[in-house]
Amino acid sequence: MKRKFWLFLPVIGMFLLACGKEQEGSVNIRIKLMYGNQPFEMFKVYQYPGGGEDFRMNRLSFFISDFTLRSSGGDQNILDIDYLDLTASHTDPVAPNGLEYRIENVKAGTYAGFDFGIGVPATENAKSPSDFPPSSILSGSAEYWASWKSYIFFRPEGNIALDGKPIGETDFALHLGADQAFRKIIYNRGVTVKEGETTNIDIVLDIKKYFNGKTLYDIHDTQQIHSLFQMPLITQLADNLAVSFR
């Protein structure tokens, strides 16, 4: 009888280990660009809201930070910070699901919603690229304004037809940066992560609303944002950006 008891001990041990192991799944964040009700594509001509001027974009990239799944049982921060470039995924042929960003080892459970920041949180934004190890996404200087002492949070660029000139003659770069431009995006949409499975989280960014989500941005007046003296324009566009996600 003793021999039989000892034979069962390994089985019991494996059962206890399985019970103690946290159940995990994966999350696939899918970010798709739209222009109102139209799919948005780089290098394709659209009409600017208000005046109807022809424009096209050739770049869109931004920092995404503190991606958190919210639950009454405890929030889960599944991404600290990264830099996303949506240009390639929205250039012909456009990826059907937009940019896909996969995160592994997410605690399984039912979450009431999720939120994330567009930009670099103030604590990190107070530092410069040299303050971070080479492995950090914040160590690169290409997305940092030394004169502003800030990272470039949101970077849309393109061309627009103004004052009777062809579309290729006027560039625009409506960059956002500095702590005042940081925006938290909140979704009250439930998410269920199941063990061993991948859960898709679909996010739509409406480029049209970036120009006129709360107030119409006057692109005739200013096509380039590169100075702290333009902070009222930066906060105007940041407020538009905050209502551009759906």
Q: What's the pLDDT score for residue 6?
A: 42
Q: What's the pLDDT score for residue 12?
A: 45
Confidence of residue 22 (pLDDT cuts 50, 70, 90): confident
Confidence of residue 7 (pLDDT cuts 50, 70, 90): very low
Inform me whether the pLDDT recorded for 60 exceeds 60: yes
Q: Residues 34-48: what's their mean pLDDT?
A: 98
Nearest-5° Cα angle at 244, 240 to 245: 145
H or E element, residue 246: none
* Burial letters 121-150, b for 16+ CB under 10 A, else e: beebbeeebeeeeeeebbeeeebbbeeeeb
Task: Please state whether beta strands 24-35 and 198-206 pair in parallel, antiparallel, or not at all (unpaired).
Answer: parallel
Spatial separation of the C-alpha atoms in residues 40 and 87, rounded to whole Å: 11
The owner of tokens 């770049």 is: 59
Q: Tens of pLDDT along 108-131?
A: 999 999 999 999 999 999 999 999
Inform me whether the pLDDT recorded for 45 exceeds 70: yes
Q: What is the pTM of this model?
A: 0.90
Inform me whether the pLDDT recorded for 55 exceeds 70: yes
Confidence of residue 9 (pLDDT cuts 50, 70, 90): very low
* Percent of the chain whose predicted confidence (pLDDT) is above 70: 91
Strands (E), the chain: 24-35, 38-39, 46-47, 54-70, 76-85, 99-107, 109-111, 113-118, 144-145, 150-160, 171-173, 176-177, 183-187, 191-193, 198-206
Inform me whether the pLDDT recorded for 5 exceeds 70: no
Confidence of residue 23 (pLDDT cuts 50, 70, 90): very high
Q: Residues 173-179: what's their mean pLDDT?
A: 98
Confidence of residue 228 (pLDDT cuts 50, 70, 90): confident
H or E element, residue 214: none
Inform me whether the pLDDT recorded for 41 exceeds 50: yes
